[in-house]
Amino acid sequence: MNFLINKKRLCGFTLIEVLVGTAVFMVLAISVYQTYTIVLNTVSNSRAKITATALANEQFEIIRNLPYSDVGTISGVPNGKISASQDLIRDGKDFIVKTTIRSIDDVFDGNIGSSTNNDLSPADYKIAELEISCENCKNFSPLTFTTQIGPRDLESESTNGSLFVRVFDVDAKPLPEADVHIFNNDIYPSLEINDTTNNDGLLQIVDAPPAVDTYYVTVSKTSYATERTYQTGELGTSTPINSNPTVVIRQLSQISFFLNYVSDLNIFSQDENCDPISDITFTLQGTRLIGTEPDVLKYNASSTTDISGEKIIEDLDWDTYTMTLDTPSYALLGTATSTIITLNASSTPDYKLTLAPKESSNLLITVKDDTGLALSGVTIELIQNASSTIEVTGPGIAACRAEGQALFTDLIPENYDLMITKPNYQDYTENLDLGSAWTEKEITLNP
């Protein structure tokens, strides 16, 4: 009996017992490690926030100890000695500090532009805002700090003006958080502002230096079109619709923008059998204007399709566009030499540009009714020496052919009798003397 007990004790652990024990240990070890990692990350993130808060207090102390006239950003409004963006290292971490300083028009003594109590010196005090971010800190969300800075002396008469930028959407509703870029290189020191509109779609620049026609303003927002102002003469002799605003001493200047939704347009160039054609150049023109007398279009540009016959044009205004083919070696298989494209808001439509090479001895016939609309189901017959070639216009003859057209290829340069018929329309006949060159004809059928 003792021998059996001692033998069992000497056997040790089985392989299954070892594997189970190892698995249990690994689960416990991983759980402990994950807990330890979470604790470390939490401590590190908390320490980074404490460091960022100390950095904000440090920057605020620098701002508060400046003379009030120097409290502002370099090339900003108000102009001062604070950098708009700084890269600072604290506690071994890289912090980015973005500073925005604005003059505030307090309602206590009236507001500029008010019909009842117009404040001619609207720069009552200043607000400084710091946005601190850390690129090499894990799970660190940018922190924002704000403080007010008031003048030590009584308010003096202003020698500057104010500029208000209002932004609306296409429904005339205020558009918040629209990006506004303002710059003026014709004043000293030069000025550049990057800011966003508030919940009322408004950006207020109080205490802006006076200037005539030199404040350039650009407004944009994701999924919306970009709009900007133009200086007189920038569009030649045309008068800008949105002119650069002029800021006058102790007066309020306002400018408004309406931002359209944008869409992408996919253009495909192909032959009548839907096979891609590369390197096709075309011009796309919208209807929206940026200048008048003479008119200047906001969008008027040439583009070329790639090797797969595709061209994607991004961020186009919600508008109606006219396409014109600029590749002379091809003819547009359509009812005219230009094509109208209506681009709806927030869409990505595909447009097929169907073409035919202008090869010798080819004939393209376009048939319309008396109102200029394309006619499908028209029988077109070319007769030469008692033999005939027949085509019928409209879809289905070739996979990608446009309505109202027929394309005759590889014709012999001879004299042909042309006969066009369609039920309920008058027949059309003509004698054609075809040479070796490409030929296009447009025929009108009367009912």
Low-confidence ranges of the chain (pLDDT < 70): 1-13, 36, 38-43, 153-156, 334-338, 386-399, 401-402
The two tokens of residue 422 are 């369609």
HSE at residue 308, side-chain half, CA atoms within 13 A, is 5
Q: What is the C-alpha R_g of the chain?
A: 36
Q: Which amino acid is at 383?
A: I
Which residue in 408, 431, 422, 440 sits closest to 369, CA to CA? Answer: 422
How many helices (DSSP H) and strands (DSSP E) are in the chain?
A: 2, 29
CB 108 within 8 A of CB 124: yes
What pLDDT does residue 5 have?
A: 52
Q: Does the structural domain 363-445 have CATH classification 2.60.40.1120?
A: yes
Q: Are 211 and 183 in contact (CB under 8 A)?
A: no
Q: Are 243 and 257 in contact (CB under 8 A)?
A: no
CATH of 262-357, one of 3.30.70.20, 1.10.1240.10, 2.60.40.10, 3.10.50.40: 2.60.40.10
* Residues carrying CATH 2.60.40.1120, the chain: 159-259, 363-445
- In angstroms, the first-to-last Cα distance of the chain is 120
Q: How many CA atoms are closer than 13 Å to the CA of 356, on its beta-carbon side?
A: 27
What pLDDT is stored for residue 390 in this prediction? 66
At residue 39, the pLDDT reads 63
Question: What is d(CA 194, CA 75) in angstroms, rounded to the nearest whole number?
Answer: 11
Cα 263 to chain centroid, rounded: 8
Give the span between the Cα atoms of 43 and 32, in whole angstroms.
16
The answer to whether 34 and 28 have CB atoms below 8 angstroms apart is no
| Whole-angstrom distance, CA of residue 143 vs CA of residue 310 | 45
What's the rounded Cα separation, in Å, for the pair 270 and 353?
6
Q: What is the pTM of this model?
A: 0.75
Fold classification of 159-259 (topology level): Immunoglobulin-like (2.60.40)
How is residue 84 written in tokens?
């708009």
Backbone angles phi, psi at 153, to 5 degrees: -100, 175
Residue 333 and residue 354 in contact, taking contact as beta carbons nearer than 8 Å:
yes
Q: Are 265 and 312 in contact (CB under 8 A)?
A: yes
Buried b (16+ CB within 10 A) or exposed e, 229-265: bbeeebbeebebbbbbbbbeebbbbebebbbbbbbeb
pLDDT for 48: 85
User: What's the rounded Cα separation, in Å, for the pair 261 and 225?
Assistant: 6
As annotated, the residues of the chain forming the CATH 2.60.40.10 domain(s) are: 262-357
Report the pLDDT value the prediction gives residue 197, as an integer from 0 to 100. Answer: 96
Q: Are strands 262-270 and 350-357 parallel, antiparallel or unpaired?
A: parallel
Size (the chain), residues: 447
E strands within 191-304? 191-196, 202-208, 216-220, 227-228, 239-240, 252-259, 262-270, 281-285, 289-292, 296-297, 300-304
3-state secondary structure of 369: strand
What Cα–Cα distance (Å) separates residue 270 from each residue in 40, 106, 285, 302, 308? 60, 63, 21, 18, 9
How many whole angstroms separate alpha carbon 354 and alpha carbon 90?
Answer: 62
Residue 165 to residue 244: CA distance in whole angstroms: 12
Concatenating the DSSP letter of every residue in 149-171 gives: E--SSPPPPPS-EEEEEEEEETT
Residue 418 and residue 379: Cα distance in Å, rounded?
11
Of 203, 186, 192, nearest in space to 246 by CA: 186
DSSP state of 427: -
At 280 the pLDDT is: 94
Q: What percent of the chain has pLDDT over 90?
A: 41
